[in-house]
Chain A
Amino acid sequence: MAGLHKSEFENPVVNWIDTRMPIFTMMQKEYGSFPTPKNFNYFWNFGALAMISLAIMIATGIFLAMNYTAHTSLAFDSVERIMRDVNYGWLLRYIHANGASMFFIVVYIHIFRALYYGSYKAPRELLFMLGVVILLLMMATAFMGYVLPWGQMSYWGATVITNLFSAIPIVGEGIVTWLWGGFSVDNPTLNRFFSLHYLMPFMITGVVFLHIVALHITGSNNPLGIDVKSPQDTLPFHPYYTAKDSIGICVYLLVFAGLVFFAPNLLNHPDNYIPANPLVTPAHIVPEWYFLPYYAILRSVPNKLGGVILMFSSIAVLFVLPWLDTSPVRSARFRPIYKQLILVMVASFLVLGYVGGKPPEGIYVVLGRVATAYWFLHFLVLLPILGKLERPLPLPESISRPVVRRPPSSGGGGPLPQGATAKPMEKP
């Protein structure tokens, strides 16, 4: 559809640009007047926080890259040079290193929000799946980033994780050699990891863009999990949610600053301040905290291939989650049993994280296995059955009228019959 855009902006320069390329109109539509459910709680801040995290990582990363040298004999010292001789280099690096942790904390809470309020259900399945793609890309990016300072954990973490692919029958060994660019983790590995570490955040940016496009088609979910019915249910994004997100950003920056300035190595492993040495294996090789749950799943299976498959499946289940959960009700607020189960699921994730940081022996193995079992039980068995068995609570009529009008027969408080609860799920 060719033709100039009829811009409504008054500023002549803005108007001139907008007429030829209506990006101002688009921003106004998507971030200014964009109708947003008015009942968001603070869990809805975490999407904005994830965006901020990504921006911070890219900004600091580009400046680190100006002073970093991707060579096995120089990488460790170049990072130390950043810490000691580059002006505010310590600040850049500590922001980048802790920024990765902040990014994962934020994204994990963001995902929890999606699971708790059923944001993955129709019509937001694709939006949710794009989110899982972002998670996977983030994991790859962070893993390769951790290799760059070329400390002991960098080297041994890279060795252990890349070696997982050798479990694949027949082609496994070949794949590992191909990943390494040689017969062990070495200079070619470091070089390609740096290249990919620089590339992937921009791929993430691309997928984030698609994630937002999808979001602005379906509209946001909300804590009640019911659809927007009328304009009374919504507020323009600006100034209401710009103001609310700003509070979240301030608190996020406070926590972030606490880490960077007062405990910059709290989440790092001391061994990574020892230069990589292929001849000395650290007593315990542990990944960064945000990978511990998957590491625990990996080690809970005695068979290597089995462990690898289970580990990847633990995230793959999220891709099919929209179809595993058979309940038509989105928000856990109206699902009495799901509400309990999701907490158990979170508990099992935390237990896995805890176990992942411990040696694989005794009680830790048992705990890891129980938690792993629950993780899969939850998604593959309980969620599909639950949709059929659970009696959801009555849903409110609309966001602006959260009071439930109970039909006289239900005697107050009792769940509505199936037909009534399904009503709010009509297509918008």
Chain B
Amino acid sequence: MRIALALAVFLTAGVALAPGAFAQGHEAVEAPKQPWSFNGPFGTFDRASMQRGFQVYKEVCSNCHSMKEMYYRNLTSIGLNEEQVKAIAASATVPGGTDDSGQAVERPALPSDHFRSPFANDKAARSANGGALPPDQSLIVKARENGSDYVFALLNGYEDAPADVKVGEGQYYNKYFPGHQLAMPAPLHEGAVTYADGTPATIEQMSRDVTQFLTWTSNPDLEVRKRMGVKVVLFLTLMTGLTYAVKKKVWKDVH
């Protein structure tokens, strides 16, 4: 029995100590937690921020990054009306199949079209970006650990490399990228976009807005899901109480 206890203590102590032993070796800097409007069980998206974020995506990010899972029609969910969505779609040109002579044609996009991809294929995307492939952004927030905080931190994380670090050809130094060097040049600079609502377009503001937008494209179900979840949990709590009372009653004569 002593041996058993000693073993148990040894095993648990090992687990407790292990993470510390490896902390130094770890490269990536943890992204600081941000107070997002969509955090927590009652979280919702900030429509104004999402719309600004869409503008940043459209004017900056979409020059390199595709967003293949999204349709223009989805944009009604960020608070745009159908006319606006139609106009936004129509401003993009997408492949439109072939004409009667079999030639590939292009046409203005419709709300029922996927977002236009900046490059015809991955090879074209690579060759335009020094060999690196800008990842599709439809799911970028879900595809990274603590995605929203990470993307926000990444966009703000560009800085001069420390003296002892040699930054590779076509690479840029970023505090939050695992390995610290990536092929994406700092995409945002002060005033890169002009917001219609007059919000000053600082790097931090744009990052916050585009992250809000990207969190939505990764989790379009978030608001409905949380709203439903609150109701379901309330209902189940009630049911648990009720069931407990019934059980008590059924069992009261058993000893």
Contacts and interface: CB of A to CB of B under 8 A. Distances in A.
A365 to B, nearest CB: 11
Nearest to A351: B11
A244 B14 contact: no
A408 interface: no
A270 B230 CA distance: 25
Given A77-B69, A363-B18, A250 B247 contact: no
B250 A253 contact: no
Given A246-B243, A264-B225, A351 B14 contact: yes
A77 B247 CA distance: 47
A334 to B, nearest CB: 15
A340 B1 contact: yes
- Most chain A beta-carbon contacts within 10 A, residue among B14, B239, B254: B14
Interface residues of A, number: 51
B236 interface: yes
A251 B243 CA distance: 10
Given A260-B229, A337-B4, A340-B5, A243 B11 contact: no
Contact of B4 (A38, A262, A341): A341
Contacts of A371: 11
A23 interface: no
Contacts, number: 124
Contacts of A262: 41, 226, 229
A235 B229 contact: no
A257 B233 contact: yes
Contacts of B138: 80
A344 interface: yes
B157 interface: no
Contacts of A374: 7, 11
- Most chain A beta-carbon contacts within 10 A, residue among B144, B228, B236: B236
B163 interface: no
Contact of B143 (A246, A260, A270): A270
B145 interface: yes
Contacts of A363: 14, 17-18, 21-22
Interface in A69-101: 77, 80, 83-84, 90-91, 94
B139 interface: yes
Given A235-B254, A247-B247, 5 more contacts: A243-B250, A261-B232, A271-B143, A337-B1, A351-B14
